[in-house]
Amino acid sequence: MRMLHVFGPVALAAGLLLTCGGAYAASAEKGKAAYLQHGCWQCHGTQGQGAVTGPKLAPDPMPIETFTAFVRTSNRAMPPYSEAILSNDDLADIHAYLETIPKPADYKSIPLLNQ
Amino acid sequence: MAKKHLPVSRRKFLAGVAVAGAASAVPPAQAATTASASAAPRRPSALPPTAHVAAAESGTPNELSTSRIGGTPGSDFMVDVIKTLDIKYAPSNCASSYRGIHESLINYGGNKMPEFLTCTHEESGVGMAHGYFKAAGKPLMTFCHGTVGLQHATMAVYNAWCDRVPVIIVGGNDLDAAHRPPGVPTIHSAQDINALVRDFTKWDDTPVSLQHFAQSFVRAYKIAMTPPYGPVAISLDAGLQQEAMRDHGEKLYIPRYVPSSPPQGDSGAVKEAARLLANAQNPVIVVDRAARGENGIRLLVELAELLQAQVVDQGSRMNFPKTHYLGRPPTAVNNGDVIIGLEVTDFWGTVNAWIDNGERGIGINTSRIKPETKLISISSSELLTKANYQDFQRFQSVDVSMPADAEATLPALVEAVKAAIPTDRKAAIDKRGEAAKKAYAEQRERTKQAAALAWDASPVSTARLTMETWAHIKDLDWSLVASSGDMSNWPQRLWPMERYYHWLGRSGGSGEGYGAPASIGAALANRDLGRFSVSIQADGDLMYAPGVLWTAARHKIPLLAVMHNNRGYHREVMHLQRLSNFRNRVASLGGDLGPIGTRIENPDIEYHKLAESMGWWAKGPINDPAQLGPALKEAVAVVKSGQPALLNVWTQPR
């Protein structure tokens, strides 16, 4: 994880999610690790920015319910992740992590994108 | 093979040389005396020397004044043939099986037209020729060992085949089993070396005489340079190269090369295609290798504007200006009612989708288009279909099929469309153009906002890398000679590509190892044309045959190589992740950041040091995007001074 230095203190923020096991305090920090561990970053980038391989996930991730349903049952380019290989807790953590990613600057304020 | 017709064979000649060599060890006068003693009675030793003895004592020994082979080497004539064809370079890895023509080229031929460029791998030689052609529009030739060298070269030959690029490959081979040197040279010989590449070359031959060579070489050039272009192979017998030219009583001649005109679409089919396009509600033009130069781009713009049709450029060449409002992403085919594909290799994949997520491991096929959509194809690929390798892709039925060269057919199609557009359709066509302008502007906004995501991320985002590079080349006469396919196409989405050489396309066969040699070959052409070359070099690609970096330094080929170093074989990462998920297993990472066997890390390769060791200016690893701009400034200055420079940039996966 030496390559990832992109998250500030905001990454420590935690969400609260009700899972089948009861109340679970989702952790953005754990979510960052799970995001890498389960290969999400390979197609969506380390900040969920998206690429030709997978759409943008952040900022403003889809609601956790929609997010979970898609990850479990995807029949599109992304393969489905069953609970056996990606737990509900890990999934909640990943979502919490995506929620911490700030909005990018308006491209009009970036000189290199206005050459 | 050639020597069986000789009055004195090459081997016998060599044996004779050995005898002559032994005789020459004896002092000439003594040799002459000995020779005459057996033929005449003894004479007094005080007599004056004969003319023969006098000449032997005072003249220049024959072996020093004439070639040992007793005439002009056949390979000198071969060089004469090659010189008629405007082939500027021969990037090659040296080998004994073509030593005859190699010697002729550098000594008799003065190492010009072509100039021998030293390569450290045969794949590099072919790859350089591949890139060179796409920048210069002229083919190169490459020499290689007939067996082991050609085996090294094969992947690059397949790329050239799939990418419709002419490369002339000459493989040395010693055919005469009775006389060729035993041991390694015999291991390196074969009955038919061209068999290795016959499935993915347009034509090949094994000339058995010098006149045969002249015909074959000019024919090979002509075939390679007739659209659809493609690689050709000549097997060159070692004996034919090394033996002296013989007098058959017939003077050797070099056939004149006259270019063939490319095949044009049938006039009836052109008229029908025009009728469909002119009456379409939403025509879409899909192009892949349609343009062969600036003229092709101009013709495509003319056709598109005539119809106000959206253009999907699949990008194997620079077909359509990226700044034109009619340029659209691949999804534009979804709403097309008439779709014309111009030199589209994979028409099925253009109008259908395949999703690698079906039950039991079988992908899902879906159509992107409506059932009533009419399809038109103009593609010369149909003229070059072979059986074994599957580069012809899935079969797609179309309504109008023209096995012809698209660029050559476009003038007739443009005229036919002009004639076919009904007067009452013109207002609707203009309205379509206005909608396209609005859609294009909105698309540009979305693209730039997407580029802003992860702008400050470390590793560097591929969009940031693209625009940092752009800032340093935009005022130059630039040429993007190759780019990793894993860059989310940011250069094509963000750079204002308008000229043919602004983007030279991809490998064709998707064989890794194309980027580095093709970039350097294209940079060689651009050097001579006064253009600035930049490549976005993938890490995995560079490691197939990195020795080509040395070739660039050795021959002073300026190239700015900005690395997209995501430290992995990214496509394979997802294949393993996908299969793991399908099988309900957690992908094993083995301490890396991707499934075991798919990452290039632990240790990280220091590409900048690799490049430095081969004579490049290099810097890295660059992980902080803020450091990229200053490094690029330095690198561009180096390249402008005539040297190659590499920046090892750690990047996001895509």
Determine if residue A39 is left, alpha or beta; phi over 0 gives left, psi from -120 to 50 gives alpha, anything else beta: left
Residue of B467, B585, B623 with shortest CB distance to A85: B585
CB of B459 closer than 8 Å to CB of B651: yes
Task: Provide the shortest C-alpha distance from residue A4 to chain B (in Å).
Answer: 6
Beta strands B338-342; B203-205: pairing state? unpaired
B371 belongs to a structural domain: yes
B250 domain residue, yes or no: no
Relative to beta strand B327-328, strand B338-342 is unpaired
Nearest one of B393, B292, B409 to B350, comparing CA atoms? B393
pLDDT of residue B69: 84
Question: Are residues B78 and B48 part of one domain?
Answer: no
The total of structural domains in chain B comes to 4
Q: What is the mean pLDDT of residues B629-648?
A: 98
Whether residue B45 has pLDDT greater than 70: no
B46 with B107, same domain: the answer is: no
Name the residue among B459, B481, B469 with its Cα closest to residue B525. Answer: B481
Grouping H, G, I as helix, E, B as strand and the rest as coil, residue B3 is helix
pLDDT of residue B485: 73
pLDDT tens-digit series, residues B311-323: 999 999 999 999 9
Same-domain pairing of B410 and B492: no
3-state secondary structure of B106: helix
Per the CB < 8 A criterion, the answer to whether A52 and B654 are in contact is yes
Please say which residue of B375, B406, B440 terminates a domain: B440
Closest Cα of chain A to B108: distance in Å? 53
User: Residues of A at the B interface (Cβ-Cβ below 8 Å)?
Assistant: 3-6, 36-37, 39, 41-43, 45-47, 49-53, 56, 74-82, 84-85, 104-107, 110, 112-113, 115
Tell me the residue range of the domain where B632 lies.
453-567+604-649
The CATH number covering residue B306 comes to 3.40.50.1220
Q: Which of A51, A56, A85 sits opposite B654 (nearest CB)?
A: A51
pTM for the model stands at: 0.90
- CA B385 – CA B377 distance, rounded (Å): 15
Q: Which of A93, A7, A77 is CA-nearest to residue B577? A: A77
> Cα(B86)–Cα(B101) distance, rounded to whole angstroms?
17
Q: Are B385 and B392 in contact (CB under 8 A)?
A: yes
- Closest residue in chain B to residue A114, using alpha carbons only: B448
Q: Can you tell me the mean pLDDT for B185-209?
A: 97
Q: How many CA atoms lie within 13 A of B305 on its CB side?
A: 10
- The answer to whether the CB atoms of B454 and A49 lie below 8 A apart is yes
From residue B522, give the alpha-carbon distance in Å to each of B292, B481, B557. Answer: 15, 6, 10
Do B204 and B133 reside in the same domain of the chain? yes
What DSSP letter does each residue of B227-286 carry, written as one string? SSP--EEEEEEHHHHHSBP---SS----PPP-PPPPP---HHHHHHHHHHHHT-SSEEEE
pLDDT surpassing 50 at residue A17: no
Same domain, B95 and B134: yes
Task: Please report which confidence band the pLDDT of residue B58 belongs to, taking 50, 70 and 90 as the band edges.
Answer: low
Is B486 in contact with A51 (CB distance < 8 Å)?
no
| CA torsion, ordered B623, B626, B629, B634, to nearest 10 deg | -70
pLDDT at A24: 84
Query: What is the ipTM for the molecules in this complex?
Result: 0.85
Q: Is residue B366 part of a domain?
A: yes
State the burial class of residue A36 (Cβ atoms within 10 Å of its Cβ: 0-12, 13-18, 19+): buried
Render pLDDT for B504-538 as a digit per residue (tens, 0 to 9).
Answer: 999 999 999 999 999 999 999 999 999 999 999 99
Q: Is B45 helix (H, G, I), strand (E, B) or coil?
A: coil
State yes or no: pLDDT of B543 exceeds 60.
Answer: yes
Q: Are B422 and B279 members of one domain?
A: yes
The predicted pLDDT at position B10 comes to 43
Within-domain flag for B574 = no
pLDDT category at B571 given cuts 50, 70, 90 is: confident
* Interval B24-34 mean pLDDT: 36
Give domain status of residue B255, yes or no.
no
Contacts of A115 in chain B (CB under 8 A): 467, 470-471, 474
Secondary structure letter of residue B308 according to DSSP: T
Assess contact for B165 and B508: CB atoms under 8 A.
Answer: yes
In angstroms, rounded to a whole number, what is the distance separating the alpha carbons of residues B320 and A70? 37
> Could you tell me if residue B593 is inside a domain?
no
pLDDT tens across B433-442, in order?
Answer: 999 999 999 9
Q: Which domains does chain A have, with CATH numbers?
A: 9-114 (1.10.760.10)
Last residue of a domain, one of B35, B65, B95: B65
Looking at residues B172-178, what average pLDDT do you find? 96
Where does residue B121 rank: exposed (0-12), middle (13-18), buried (19+ CB within 10 A)? buried
**Average confidence (pLDDT) over A91-104:** 97
Provide the phi-psi class of B203: left if phi over 0, else alpha when psi is between -120 and 50, else beta: beta
| B311, B378: one domain | yes
- Our CA-based measurement puts residue B617 at a distance from the nearest CA of chain A, in whole angstroms, of 25
Chain A CB contacts of B489 below 8 Å: 52
Domain at B104, CATH number: 3.40.50.970
| B525 and B620, same domain (yes or no) | yes
In a domain? residue B587 = no
Task: Kindly state whether residues B435 and B542 are assigned to the same domain.
Answer: no
pLDDT at B5 over 80: no
Kindly state whether residues B493 and B627 are assigned to the same domain: yes
Q: Do B365 and B304 have their domain in common?
A: yes
Judged by CB atoms closer than 8 Å, whether chains meet at A43 and B581 is answered as no
In a domain, B599, yes or no: no
Cβ-based contacts of B464 with chain A (< 8 Å): 112
Q: Is the distance from CB of B480 to CB of B504 less than 8 angstroms?
A: yes
| Interchain contact, B653 vs A74, CB within 8 Å | no
Average pLDDT over residues A29-50: 96
Q: Are residues B53 and B99 in the same domain?
A: no
Model pLDDT for residues B285-336, shown as the tens digit of each residue: 999 999 999 999 999 999 999 999 999 999 999 999 999 999 999 999 999 9
Report the distance separating Cα B273 and Cα B61, nearest Å. 76
8 A C-beta contact, residue B329 and residue B443:
yes
pLDDT of residue B70: 84
- Report pLDDT for B23: 35
- In chain B, % of residues over pLDDT 90: 86
